């Protein structure tokens, strides 16, 4: 038997504090033509999803590294903050702290 971690949600045996609404389906007022159109729409998407996924993968494979990074990160100007280099690396400040600590010891 597979152990399932506790999700924190009530189990089926415990029940939920509120019952679900017992209203009918939201499709109950659809005409047979609307239901048929809805089913056709679902079938069309089920057919389209693998094809669209294949197109997406092909497009990703054709991307260069720079294009991929630009798409993920957006335009980046490394001459202005926050991406521009800091005026100091912090090494001088670190040495100042070490010197203070050495005097106290």
Across the chain, what does the average pLDDT equal?
A: 83
Q: Does residue 73 belong to any structural domain of this protein? A: no
Q: Place 76 in a pLDDT band, splitting at 50, 70 and 90.
A: confident
Q: Which of 77, 78, 74, 98 has its CA nearest to residue 86?
A: 78
Q: Does residue 6 belong to any structural domain of this protein? A: no
Q: Does residue 75 belong to any structural domain of this protein? A: no
- Overall number of domains in the chain: 1
Q: Does residue 37 belong to any structural domain of this protein? A: yes
Arithmetic mean of pLDDT, 51-63: 94
Residue 12 pLDDT greater than 70, yes or no: no
pLDDT given at position 4? 52
Q: Does residue 39 belong to any structural domain of this protein? A: yes
- Nearest 5°: the CA angle 34, 38, 42 is 170
pLDDT given at position 47? 96
Q: Does residue 45 belong to any structural domain of this protein? A: yes
Q: Residue 35's domain spans which residues?
A: 30-56
pLDDT given at position 100? 94
Q: Does residue 18 belong to any structural domain of this protein? A: no
């Amino acid at each position: 038997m597979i152990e399932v971690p506790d999700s924190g949600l009530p189990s089926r045996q415990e029940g939920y504090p509120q019952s679900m609404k017992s209203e009918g389906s939201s499709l109950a007022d659809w005409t047979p033509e609307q239901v048929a159109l809805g089913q056709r729409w679902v079938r069309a998407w089920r057919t389209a999803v693998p094809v669209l996924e294949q197109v997406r993968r092909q497009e990703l494979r054709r991307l260069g590294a720079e294009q991929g990074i630009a798409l993920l990160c957006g335009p980046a100007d490394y001459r202005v903050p926050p991406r521009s280099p800091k005026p100091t690396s912090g090494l001088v400040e670190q040495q100042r702290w070490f010197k203070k600590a050495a005097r106290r010891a």
